[in-house]
Structure 1
Amino acid sequence: MRANWPIGPVCDACYQRRKRQPRPCVRCNVVRVLVGSSDDQNGELCGPCCGVDIDFACNRCGFPGDTYADGACTRCIVADRVQDLLSRDDGTIAAALRPLADGLIALDPPITLLRWLSQSRGPKILARLASQSAEITHRSLDILPQDRTTRHVREMLVATGILPPRNENLARLELWLHHMLEQLPDQHRASIAPFAEWGIVRDARRRAARGRYTTRAATADRADIRTAAKFLAWLDNNQLDLAGVSQAHVDHWLTTHPTLHRSAGAFLRWTTLRRLTGVITVPARRPGLPSRFLSEQQHHQQLKRCLNDETLPLAVRIAGTLTGLYALPISWLAELTIERFHRDTGSAYLTIGDNPVLLPPRLAELIERQIERAVSIPSLRPPDGSAPAFLLPGRPPTRPISEGQLQASMRRHGLAIITARNTAMLEAVADLPPIVVSDLFGISPRTAYRWAQYAQVSWTDYLAATPD
């Protein structure tokens, strides 16, 4: 017997039946948890029709088969805990937080919210915001540690209309810059602050206004600012200052810091234009030619595994296939939205760049399965549908999966990334003219032509056959 139920002791058989989905009773036709069988009607019966006082229905709303605590269903318990979480001292929820309360209570399935309330640090942040008398703004969250929990709470407030939407990549850059400048010596801050504000952040604001400031762009901007700070520290260690920097010093720096070549160039070009240094040139480094590839057999084996191996995570299978077929970079896959996939007269297409590309039927099936999974993830979304629906959602699901997380997942399951992409690109330029590869894969014509040159593929015949 199990005596820990609010309705009293029940036998193991009834306990297992309680887990079943509610269905109509064959005798009273009421949707309940069925606990007995009917020989004459060839079906199952609810507790009252079996002659026992066992109903398994919520004692508040009457919802069947979801008793969670005190005889109430999960939904009613969620409503109680949300009320306690967001209430002020007088027991009422502020009007500004009512959309959030309604959205949390309506999340389906409600058990996911109960787990979040008991396991996450987010409810403490919401309780602190609910208890304050001041208006809730982005600044209220900006003063907190900017970790995943804070970002999740912010997404919830934006989705319910309590906070206005903003470009989070730009906002995080500005917050990071503020804390970073506080840690610099005064003499370095005098140079880094104007460079960061006028050389980096101003351009980031322009791109954000056009809706094109991505996570990858923000990462590159932070790298430029960090490199500038490293360069000034190097000058201090060598008893130099900006005014005394020569081309020889810069060349030495670039030689000893080859991975910071691009980032150092951004800062040194800025100092040259402002006449903080003499005329300094940072030659552009042409990207090296690819040197790592998969053999034809390895390439086909990886594609076959991604398409058919059910033990791999669905997101990994899709990413591995798109990388191996269309040479798509991880940065593009991470922010791929559901709206780019569509069917037309039975065929499935994925829009890469500006052009829809025909997908193999097996890959289309995987993407459709992932779409069903992505849209079923419980999350608060703006009612106007303004938030993009990502094919590979992150946490919260209103944000895309991070590039690092996707790369780590693919490597953990033994899937090549760079070599698979290089092989796919090489096979494409071997069969198609560069301009077609450019349109098909969404890359620049110059990049496609460089690949064609590398593969020693001539497309003179294609140009000769093209009408004027």
Structure 2
Amino acid sequence: MLTNPRGDSMVCAQCAGEPVTLECPGCGSVSHSRAHRLCDRCRHPATVRRLLTNSDGQVPDALQPLEAYLLAHPGAANSFDRWALKSDAARAIRHLVSGLLPLEARAIIDDLSTPQSAGFLLSLLVAAGLLPELDVHQARFDRWLELWLAAIDSPQDRLILQRYHSWGTNPILRRPVARPTSSQHRVNRHRVRLRECATLLAHIRSSGHTLATFPQRELDHYLTGSASQADALSHFTRWLRQNRLSHLTVHPRRHTTAVAGMDPAERWRVARRFLKDDTIPSMDRVSGLLTLLYGMQSTRIAALERSDVQVSGDRVTLTIAADAIELPEPLGRAIVDQLQASAARSDRWLFPGRNPGAPITAGAITRRLRLHGVSLADARATALIELAQHMHPRVISDLLGLSSTAATRWWRLAGSGWATYPTLR
């Protein structure tokens, strides 16, 4: 560290012949020392112990796995200092240390003021082995549902919503998900669905009707044309008819494939910028290029694992679906950079998320790329249409993991004719 003036420049204390006053008392380093004099490497263990020690100056036996996990995943010292001092999750950890808070998911969710803090701390405790493996998003949803139902004034509405959740939506929620990032999307969708149903029931009750007497014409007048409302109420009214509680009907929206919203020349201009500009963070370069070149969804990008990448010399391949794709050299180099950058944070995910042991969310990828002027939906649509002009739907499906139906829809949008495909194959 340059601390002493010599002429018009600064030199270190040893070169100036002065005593070293800013060296770290733990290791002797003068790098990144601060007012308390400990360097980053020595400061992190000290901060962890301050966070986890009880009044006796010892880390409770039950929390020692958490200490080991935090020591093994140091991160940025300054950020960790701020988190340990001011965050809601750190406050809850101190309650765990003092015994004021039991080591249970439900109690932790209730103790924390925001869903984000609850999700982070639950993920941290699962990653450290203090809680059994659980779906953090599902655990938060279950507790939200319990509190939300209890706050509904009408006993009749509450009973209908409880039955609908138990028999109409819960079996769907409990199905295994193909990608971890799908869990958050799924519970968010069901939360919106239940709220729309509760709003409809309150409207029916305020109009002086019941589910059995509410006219279809008034329901049609009630609908706003919102896509989320149509999706929610179409499922709800179908469940009502199946259980002979009502004859109401809401038609779901028709799912259509988005048309290209990005000029092909602009797509290649942006792609060249991502390929050549090393100042763009590797996470953004990789996710942007996977969208611009291969039309990948943000949920699928977020769920990529380190094992999906194979490096052999200068050759880098990525397995998205059934077949591995050999990547162009700039993209391969960016993926190798991302592998190195994420190694300290996760031994599984290519794009580690904010929560320990979890991948980044699809929404975070979308927001990051939007800062670079990339609309994921438009870029993906243009990429898939151009790919469909040159490849058969079956090849697209094998390489990119699209369903045969989706690949065929893009092929039809591209207007491709593949009568000669068997010969080419």
Same fold (TM over 0.5): yes
Bigger relative contact order, structure 1 or 2 (CA pairs below 8 A, ≥6 apart): 2
Tell me how far apart the structure 2 counterparts of residues 75 and 450 of structure 1 sit (CA, whole Å).
54
- Provide closer, same or farther for how the CA distance between residues 107 and 333 of structure 1 changes in structure 2, counting only shifts above 3 A: closer
- 1:302 corresponds in structure 2 to 270
Tell me how far apart the structure 1 counterparts of residues 242 and 225 of structure 2 sit (CA, whole Å).
24
- 1:354 corresponds in structure 2 to 322
1:318-371 Cα shifts (integer Å, max 9, x gaps): 222111111111222222222211124642221112321221111111111122
Q: Is the 8 A contact 2:315 2:326 kept in 1?
A: yes
Residue among 273, 280, 301 paired with 2:242: 273
1:16-44 Cα shifts (integer Å, max 9, x gaps): 537xxxxxxxxxxxxxxxx249xxxxxxx
1:139 aligns with 2:98: no
After TM superposition, the score normalised by the length of structure 2 is: 0.86
Tell me how far apart the structure 2 counterparts of residues 91 and 232 of structure 1 sit (CA, whole Å).
56
1:139-180 Cα shifts (integer Å, max 9, x gaps): 331212343333323232222222222111211221221222
- 1:99 corresponds in structure 2 to 65
How many Å apart are 1:427 and its aligned residue?
1.0
How many Å apart are 1:86 and its aligned residue?
2.3
- 2:212 corresponds in structure 1 to 243
Question: Quick one: which amino acid aligns to residue 52 of structure 2?
Answer: L
- 2:54 corresponds in structure 1 to 88
Deviates more, 1:192-201 or 1:104-113: 104-113
How many Å apart are 1:198 and its aligned residue?
2.5
Residue among 382, 386, 393 paired with 1:423: 382
SS at match of 2:360: coil
1:206-242 Cα shifts (integer Å, max 9, x gaps): 3269979522222222222122122223323443321
How many Å apart are 1:417 and its aligned residue?
1.9
- 1:127 corresponds in structure 2 to 94
- 1:365 corresponds in structure 2 to 333
Identity rate, percent: 27
Q: Is the 8 A contact 2:44 2:74 kept in 1?
A: no
1:188 aligns with 2:183: no
Tell me how far apart the structure 1 counterparts of residues 328 and 102 of structure 2 sit (CA, whole Å).
52
Q: How many residues align structurally?
A: 418
SS at match of 1:236: helix
SS at match of 1:348: strand
Q: Is the 8 A contact 2:127 2:356 kept in 1?
A: no
1:204 aligns with 2:170: no
- 1:17 corresponds in structure 2 to 12
Q: Is the 8 A contact 2:181 2:299 kept in 1?
A: no
Q: Is the 8 A contact 2:291 2:376 kept in 1?
A: yes
Tell me how far apart the structure 1 counterparts of residues 179 and 263 of structure 2 sit (CA, whole Å).
42
SS at match of 1:136: coil
Question: Quick one: which amino acid aligns to residue 456 of structure 1?
Answer: G
Question: Quick one: which amino acid aligns to residue 358 of structure 1?
Answer: E
1:278-328 Cα shifts (integer Å, max 9, x gaps): 3x4544543235334322211211211221234433322222211111111
SS at match of 1:89: coil
SS at match of 1:460: coil
1:340 aligns with 2:299: no
Residue among 299, 302, 324 paired with 2:292: 324
Residue among 249, 259, 262 paired with 2:231: 262
Q: Is the 8 A contact 1:207 1:213 kept in 2?
A: no
SS at match of 1:350: strand
Tell me how far apart the structure 2 counterparts of residues 156 and 184 of structure 1 sit (CA, whole Å).
33
1:413 aligns with 2:382: no
Across the aligned residues of Structure 1 and Structure 2, the Cα RMSD in angstroms comes to 3.2
- 2:126 corresponds in structure 1 to 158
1:21-71 Cα shifts (integer Å, max 9, x gaps): xxxxxxxxxxxxxx249xxxxxxxxxxxx7x76486654x54544665666
- 1:392 corresponds in structure 2 to 351
SS at match of 1:243: coil
- Provide closer, same or farther for how the CA distance between residues 15 and 232 of structure 1 changes in structure 2, counting only shifts above 3 A: farther
SS at match of 2:296: coil
Tell me how far apart the structure 2 counterparts of residues 199 and 180 of structure 1 sit (CA, whole Å).
17
Q: Is the 8 A contact 1:170 1:213 kept in 2?
A: no
After TM superposition, the score normalised by the length of structure 1 is: 0.78
Tell me how far apart the structure 1 counterparts of residues 219 and 178 of structure 2 sit (CA, whole Å).
35
Deviates more, 1:394-403 or 1:245-254: 245-254
How many Å apart are 1:433 and its aligned residue?
1.5
